[in-house]
A and B are shown apart, each in its own frame.
Chain A
Amino acid sequence: MKSARLLAVFLAAALLPLPAAAFDFGKALKGAAEKASGLSDSDKQAIQQGAQAVAKSSEDITPEQEYYIGRAVAAKLLGARKPYDAAAATDYVNLLGVTLSLSSERPETFGGYHFLIVDSDEINAFAAPGGDILVTRGLLRCATSEETVAAILAHEISHVARQHGLKAIKQDRLTKAVIGVGSAAAQVLGPDDLADQTATFKDSVGDVTSTLVNSGYSRDQELEADRLALDTLRAAGYSPWALEDMLKVMQKRLKSGGLDFAKTHPDPRVRIAAIEKALKGSAPPAVSPEATAQRQARYEAALGNI
């Protein structure tokens, strides 16, 4: 008897930490039943209705759809802007940007992070969904070092990580995009469905680009991107204070009422105040003089004459 009780206690104690979700027999059985029976038409209808019920937010956009939207946003922006043709500068920005992205909240996206310099005096940057990031020469000229360039890129990477661009897409387009058109089993869209879906696609891309170019992200999204950028900079070994340094230069150079960054971003002073609150006088990381020299030398070589 004693041994039986001991065993019971032993079993109870051992079973206790077993995760609750370990055995979802109901789900397993349902899955098996579905595999065995295939899908009836009423099942398919239920799936469509289910999809409609949940297709409510940008979170339902698949990584693949995010990728195609982001490419189109970048393509639309580049339809009206010229890339800056300098391989050394482009390679440097990509190397720095991709290295930073590894320290971000979202190191991997469907198509990865890619950076392009736009040949413009305008002070601006655009983060297309999925990781295609455009930065103007005018903005890069505000930087004076590798870590100030890193601050710009870390801020843009944060917009991608938190999918701020996708959140600009209007509700009704999302519903259409997530559900798709035609039957659930259709692999290739017919001409009418394709035209319909392409129109919704263009509208969605338009929502994102007009936000990037005209209205800007919300103040909360901008401050969120700044907060995340501080974390990314710190994790990558840069001083988070570089973001404040960058904003101070921009504050001097931005013309109020200007057509670029000033129009689509909160006043640098607001952002600087938030950064100072977040960092609360914390000391920048110690960087050896050799490392500082290395960083400055490669920055000068790539972007010194930007």
Chain B
Amino acid sequence: MRRLPRLCVAALVLLSAAYAAAGQAKSMSVNVKETQVRASPSFLGKVLGTLAYGDRVQVAEAQKGWAKVNAPAKGLAGWVSESALTAKKVVLSSGAGDADQRASSGEVALAGKGFNSQVEGENRKDASYDYADVDRMEAIVVSPEAIEAFVASGRLAVPGGAR
């Protein structure tokens, strides 16, 4: 009988290790050029750092479109929008990031071949495409501060609310 508590403790330790492993089992990749890791699950949350396309993260929990992640390679932990993550592995066309360089046969990887910057470079030679206007358009950056002020003065909402 006296062994029961000790056995239970041992079982608990084992189980919590199992749960921790289960919590870390969901590995995901960043599927946007760059995404912000935030202190809270909100687009107005404090930015702790940035992850790049192909970076691997461990998802600990998820809520309302946000994932709480750990990115040991970048020394970052915090919240990332789920729209910036994929369960697929990202295979980069160039050697950057900590993504795998090749697809394994067991999973569909997001390979960086096909339509890439090299193909765009070739396509730019075609005068019927106006890339200059597109570059100008994409150069417009809307700052988090501008969004916050816009939302506040118009009494609008941002998912997750204010910081």
Q: How far is A302 from B59 in the complex, measured between Cα atoms in Å?
A: 42
Residues of the A chain whose Cβ atoms lie less than 8 Å from the Cβ of B93: 64, 187
Q: How far is A103 from B142 in the complex, measured between Cα atoms in Å?
A: 15
Bits for B84-116, please: 1 = Cβ < 8 Å to A, else 0: 101000100111000000111110101111111
A6 touches B4 (CB 8 A): yes
Residues of the B chain whose Cβ atoms lie less than 8 Å from the Cβ of A75: 129-131, 133-134
Residues of the A chain whose Cβ atoms lie less than 8 Å from the Cβ of B7: 3, 7
A127 CB to nearest chain B CB (Å):
13
A68 touches B120 (CB 8 A): yes
Residues of the A chain whose Cβ atoms lie less than 8 Å from the Cβ of B156: 99, 236-238
Tally of A-B residue pairs with Cβ under 8 A?
225
Name which residue of chain B comes closest to A31, CB basis: B104
Bits for A270-296, please: 1 = Cβ < 8 Å to B, else 0: 000000000000000001101100110
Q: How far is A10 from B14 in the complex, measured between Cα atoms in Å?
A: 13
B137 touches A197 (CB 8 A): no
A76 touches B129 (CB 8 A): yes
B35 contacts partner chain A, Cβ-Cβ < 8 Å: yes
B84 CB to nearest chain A CB (Å):
4
B62 contacts partner chain A, Cβ-Cβ < 8 Å: no
B53 CB to nearest chain A CB (Å):
7
Which of A12-20, A213-221, A246-254, A257-265 contacts its partner?
A12-20
B115 touches A110 (CB 8 A): no
Residues of the A chain whose Cβ atoms lie less than 8 Å from the Cβ of B106: 27, 30-31
Q: Of B108, B133, B155, which one neighbours A116 at CB under 8 angstroms? A: B133
B159 touches A110 (CB 8 A): no
Q: How far is A91 from B137 in the complex, measured between Cα atoms in Å?
A: 10
A106 touches B146 (CB 8 A): no
A301 contacts partner chain B, Cβ-Cβ < 8 Å: no
Within 8 A of B (CB), among A174-229: 176-181, 184-189, 194-195, 197-198, 201-202, 204
A98 touches B129 (CB 8 A): no
Residues of the A chain whose Cβ atoms lie less than 8 Å from the Cβ of B129: 72, 75-76, 79
Residues of the B chain whose Cβ atoms lie less than 8 Å from the Cβ of A72: 120, 123, 129
A16 CB to nearest chain B CB (Å):
11
Residues of the A chain whose Cβ atoms lie less than 8 Å from the Cβ of B155: 237, 287-288, 290-291, 294
B94 touches A71 (CB 8 A): no
B84 touches A108 (CB 8 A): yes
Bits for B145-163, please: 1 = Cβ < 8 Å to A, else 0: 0110011011111110000
**A197 with B119, Cβ < 8 A, contacts A74-B134, A102-B159 known:** yes
Q: A-B pairs with the 10 shortest C-beta distances?
A: A180-B113, A22-B22, A291-B155, A75-B129, A237-B156, A78-B130, A62-B110, A98-B142, A237-B157, A108-B84
**Additional A-B contact list (17), CB under 8 Å, known A46-B105, A204-B115:** A3-B3, A7-B7, A23-B25, A51-B103, A54-B108, A62-B112, A63-B53, A63-B86, A64-B116, A68-B117, A72-B120, A75-B129, A75-B134, A103-B159, A108-B83, A115-B140, A189-B119
Binding site for B on A (CB under 8 A): 3, 6-7, 10-11, 14-15, 18-19, 21-24, 27, 30-31, 34, 39, 43, 46-47, 50-51, 54, 60, 62-65, 67-69, 71-72, 74-76, 78-80, 83, 90-91, 94-96, 98-99, 102-103, 105-112, 114-116, 132, 146, 176-181, 184-189, 194-195, 197-198, 201-202, 204, 235-238, 287-288, 290-291, 294-295, 298
Q: List 11 A-B contacts (CB under 8 A).
A: A3-B1, A50-B105, A63-B32, A68-B117, A68-B120, A99-B142, A102-B159, A177-B114, A287-B155, A291-B153, A291-B154
